[in-house]
Chains A and B, each alone.
Chain A
């Protein structure tokens, strides 16, 4: 082949590849935009004050998702209270002391757990907590969300800690700092914004979970602040609205979806703000 032929061929391949990847990018963004616009279009009509604060009422009498918003908030908060300390603690362990067989085992289990469908976590908690307690509860729901959170938080925390330069640790060790102080005073602050980002992303992730809550928290038609009783959540409420036979219910499902997506968007924006203020 002549030089020019090679050159032309290369240019052609390059052009085709660029076009293909650009097309994929456009499709990805288009799908997201379509979904968001559709949710907005379908949902916005049904949103009003009553919808935000009332509890569900029989079809045709209005009602709202106030109790579901509160339920989601309570369960997400409780799940974070359980899941974040354990996840962050495990991540610190993996990064700082996890080079031996035990560390590798924990890492393997965490990675497997991340891949397990969330409905299986729901069944697990159902067997372990709901059956002995003889009823579904907000606590059982929170627990399944926490179990989903822990491996995600542990692995992101580990990654963030590993990003802290070795030289920084050595600087502290050279001053006569014991290992635990190096971890506590130097490594954790240096990795803090990354760890916070991981934590927020995991919160965003669990706030969209439905399957594990169906088994564990079930639902409730009332405002409920007691975690030992069944508790409503946005996702399960959406499921109920969407599977109902009436058009008004479907409209409420869209509206509740819009609220949920909005909340997740807010969390993601907060994540952005956290990542920005890096050194």
Chain B
């Protein structure tokens, strides 16, 4: 299986503060890679380099290369809009639009003109909401404001919104941090299901979750990539002492 994403010698700066140090990493196609590490170690920053979301931060600067499907996404001629369409993202904090539940999910489909007609749009919206394990809770109030949902429901709505545009890669920044165990389990099942057709990068603070859903795990600390290995090896017999200390809860 080839690599979907290939990162070489990436350094990342917020102004004069370096947040990521010399990261080199490959994410295989149609696998789940989990990113773990203590708070502030740069997991969100790393994820956001993969869809160039850091472009919105004026002081952000990146060196090194990030290739997706063999193309450098930081090359000057890159179509950032097309890139983001292909690399979807679920943010750490849920961020629904000030629109109805239905329109939140329909938005990406509409702007990318993916639907044939209204019925097709309805179908796509329903499928995305079902995939995000939210359908039963909202099917009777699709036209009410998304702000009327609970925090966990809003987060699943944002997942549905990201899935609706059928990206190739899905970046998930702690998608289950605000969810109860049942919803979390549904999301985990979804992640496992999704990897049949998508490549997934998921940040999580929950070790069991990383162990359950991912094929490979990457461990970050203080902006450095300490270790990447198949998840099973990572959690049973890590190469690095730091990894073992973190996983066994000796710090962090």
Contact = CB atoms under 8 A, between A and B. Distances in A.
Contact of B88 (A168, A175, A177, A279): A175
A189 B81 contact: no
Given A166-B56, A167-B91, A167-B95, A172 B107 contact: yes
A279 B147 contact: yes
Nearest to A189: B98
A171 B88 CA distance: 10
A185 B107 CA distance: 9
A177 B108 CA distance: 7
Interface string B77-115: 000011011101101010111110000000110011000
A189 B99 contact: yes
A31 interface: no
Contacts of B56: 166, 169-170, 173
Nearest to A166: B56
A172 B97 contact: yes
A181 B111 contact: yes
Contact of B97 (A166, A178, A186): A186
Interface residues of A, number: 21
A150 interface: no
A28 interface: no
Nearest to A190: B98
B215 to A, nearest CB: 24
Given A174-B84, A175-B161, A176-B85, A168 B145 contact: no
B107 A175 contact: yes
A60 interface: no
A177 B81 contact: yes
Interface residues of B, number: 28
A99 interface: yes
A165 interface: yes
B81 A171 contact: no
Interface in B142-177: 145, 147, 158, 161-162, 165
Nearest to B51: A174
Contacts of A186: 97-98
A167 B173 CA distance: 13
A165 B147 contact: no
A115 to B, nearest CB: 30
A189 B103 CA distance: 13
A186 B110 CA distance: 13
Interface in A141-175: 165-175
**Majority SS at the chain A contact face:** helix
Interface in A161-212: 165-178, 181, 185-186, 189-190
B17 to A, nearest CB: 19
Nearest to A178: B81
A175 B95 CA distance: 12
B53 interface: yes
A51 B44 CA distance: 68
A165 B95 contact: yes
A168 B111 contact: no
A174 B162 contact: yes
Given A167-B91, A170-B56, A279-B147, A176 B112 contact: yes
B58 interface: yes
Contacts of B82: 176
B136 to A, nearest CB: 24
Q: Which of B53, B98, B158, B161 is packed against the most chain A CB atoms within 10 Å?
A: B98
Contacts of B147: 279
A176 B111 contact: yes
Given A99-B58, A169-B56, A176 B165 contact: yes
A185 B82 CA distance: 18
A26 to B, nearest CB: 39
A171 B84 contact: no
A176 B84 contact: yes
B53 A177 contact: no
Nearest to A99: B58
A79 B161 CA distance: 42
A135 to B, nearest CB: 49
A173 B53 contact: yes
A104 to B, nearest CB: 15
A175 to B, nearest CB: 4
Interface string B172-193: 0000000000000000000000
Please list the 6 inter-chain residue pairs (A to B) with the smallest Cβ-Cβ separation, ordered nearest first: A176-B85, A175-B108, A167-B95, A174-B89, A171-B95, A190-B98
21 contacts: A165-B95, A168-B95, A170-B53, A170-B56, A170-B91, A171-B91, A171-B158, A171-B161, A173-B84, A174-B53, A174-B88, A174-B89, A175-B112, A175-B162, A176-B82, A176-B85, A176-B108, A176-B165, A177-B107, A185-B111, A186-B97
Given A175-B107, A178-B81, A189-B98, 8 more contacts: A172-B107, A174-B91, A175-B162, A176-B81, A176-B82, A176-B84, A279-B98, A279-B147
Interface of A: 99, 165-178, 181, 185-186, 189-190, 279
